[in-house]
Amino acid sequence: MKKLFILSIVSILFLSIMAGCTSTDTSSDSNSDTVELRFFHRWPTEPKKQYFENAVKEFEELHPNIKIKTEAVLNDSYKEKIRIVLGSNNPPDIYFSWSGEFALNFARAGQALDLTEYVNEDKEWSSQIIESQYKPFTLDGKIYGIPWSTDGKAFFYNKQIFNDLNLEVPTTWSELIAVSEKIKEAGIIPISFGSKAPWTISHYIGSLNELIVPEEVIAKDYNLNNPDGEFSHPGYVTALEKFIELQPYFNKGVNSVDHQFARELFNGGKAAIGYFQLAEIGLIEPSLKENLGVFNTPSIEGGEGNPNSITAAPEGIMISSKTKHPKEAMAFIKFLTSKEKGTEQLTEVSEYSAVKGTTTSENASALQQEAIDLIINADKTYLWFDTAVDITIVDAYLTGTQLMLDGKKTAEEVMADVQEAAKKLKEK
C-alpha cells in the first residue's frame, strides 16, 4: 500500500512536470508567430514623428502578427548613425535613405536587399510609383530602394514685400543680386539662411554647379568610378564665388543658426527670400497664405549648365540584407507607398509622394501644384549634392565653404581641398 502511494505521488509529479513543459512550449510557439521589425528613419520631430507613429499603428492593426519598433534621429546625426547600425550585427530591418550615392553605397556594401523581384512581381502596386524615381535607387540594373517622396529646391519669396518695394521676380543671377540690394536698403533681411547644419550649403552648391558647369563635366566628376573626374573645371570656383555674393544679403551669423531658424525668419515676414525645399510650402503657406511665391534658381550669365535644371530627388525606403523577414518588411513598405498613404502624406506632413496622382486640387494648394510642376517641367533634374557624390567630397566642400563664409578660405582654396579629397579617393 505504501509503495502504491509513493508510485502515485511520483506519477502525479511527473505529469505535472510534463504539463509544465507542454505549457511552456506552447507559449513559445505562440510568441514565434509574431514578427518584430525594426524601422529606422530621420524624423524624430513633428509632424512626421506622429505621422509615422500613426502609420505603424494602422499597419499593425491590419497585420496583427507584425509588430514594428521605430527609432528616429535627426538628419545629420542620421547620416552617420545609419552607416554605423547597418555595419553592425543587428541592423534595422527597414530604413530610410536618400537616393543616389547615399543609397547605392549601401547596395555596394551588401547592406541593402535587392528589391527588384518584389517590384516586378507586384506591378499593380509598383507601377503606381513614378517610374523615373526608381533610377536613383538602381545599381547594375537592380532596384535597392522604393521611392517614398519626391522634392525639389527653389527660392521662396514674400509677395507682400516685393509689392511694397515694387520688385519683380528675378530671372537672372544679376537680377537676384539687384533685388537683394534693394531689399537690404529697405531695412529688411533679403535672404534667410542657416548653415549650422551644413547640408543647407550643399543645396546651394549643387544648384549653382548645375547652372555653371557643363552637364558632361558634372557627370564625369560626380562619378568616382571615372578616373578622369577631378573637379578641375573653373566653373566650380565660379559657383562658389556666386554663392559668396549672397553673403551680404544673408542674416547675420549663418554658421551659428540652423535651417529651421532661417525658415522661421522667412515665415515671420522678417526676410523677403529663402532657399527652401518645395515640401516646406506646407509649413509656410499657412502663415503667409497668398503672399507666398516660388521661383526657380535664376539663370547665371555665362553659365555652361542647363538653365532649366532643378535640384530634385526622391527619398526612399530600403530593407537590410540581413533581415530575417523580407516579406513582412516589404508589406510595410508597400503600405507606406500606397496611393492612399501618398495622398495623406502631402496633407499631413507636406511631403510630395512619389506615387502618381497624389498631388491634386483636393489635397494640395494651387502653389503646391505649381511647385511640383517645376520638377515635372525641368529639362534636367539633379540629385541633392550631398547624396550625389561621395561623402569625402561632400565633407571637403561643406567644411571649406563654412570657412569661406567666415572669411577664412577663398573659393580657390576650397576647391583645392575638394580636388585633393577626390584624388585620395581614386588612389584607394
**How many CB atoms within 10 Å of residue 290?**
11
What is the average per-residue pLDDT within 332-359?
A: 93
Looking at the predicted structure, is the pLDDT value of residue 369 above 90? no
Statement: residue 76 has pLDDT above 70: yes
pLDDT in the model for residue 8: 46
| Mean pLDDT, residues 11-21 taken together | 41
pLDDT at residue number 337: 97
Reported confidence tier of residue 424, pLDDT bands at 50, 70, 90 = confident
pLDDT at 14 over 70: no
pLDDT at 373: 83
Selection from 273, 203, 214 nearest residue 238 by Cα: 214
- In the predicted structure, residue 58 carries a pLDDT above the cut 60: yes
Q: How far is the C-alpha of 234 from the C-alpha of 213, rounded, in Å?
A: 8
pLDDT tens digits along 117-136: 999 999 999 999 988 889 99
Give the pLDDT mean for 290-300. Answer: 95
Confidence check: pLDDT of 79 > 50: yes
Q: How far apart are CA 205 and CA 404, in angstroms?
A: 13
- Whether residue 4 has pLDDT greater than 60: no
Q: Do domains 33-150+314-371 and 153-312+373-427 have the same CATH topology?
A: yes
Question: Are the CB atoms for 285 and 278 separated by under 8 Å?
Answer: no
Helix (H, G, I), strand (E, B) or coil at 15: helix
Which residue ranges make up each domain of the chain? 33-150+314-371, 153-312+373-427
| Residue-level pLDDT at 227 | 65
Name the CATH architecture for the domain at 33-150+314-371: 3-Layer(aba) Sandwich (3.40)
Cell numbers that stand for 202 in this block: 550643399
Distance of CA 88 to the CA centre of its chain: 23
Backbone angles phi, psi at 137, to 5 degrees: -110, 15
The domain at 153-312+373-427 falls in which architecture? 3-Layer(aba) Sandwich (3.40)
- Per-residue model confidence as pLDDT tens digits over 146-200: 999 999 999 999 999 999 999 999 999 999 999 999 999 999 999 999 999 999 9
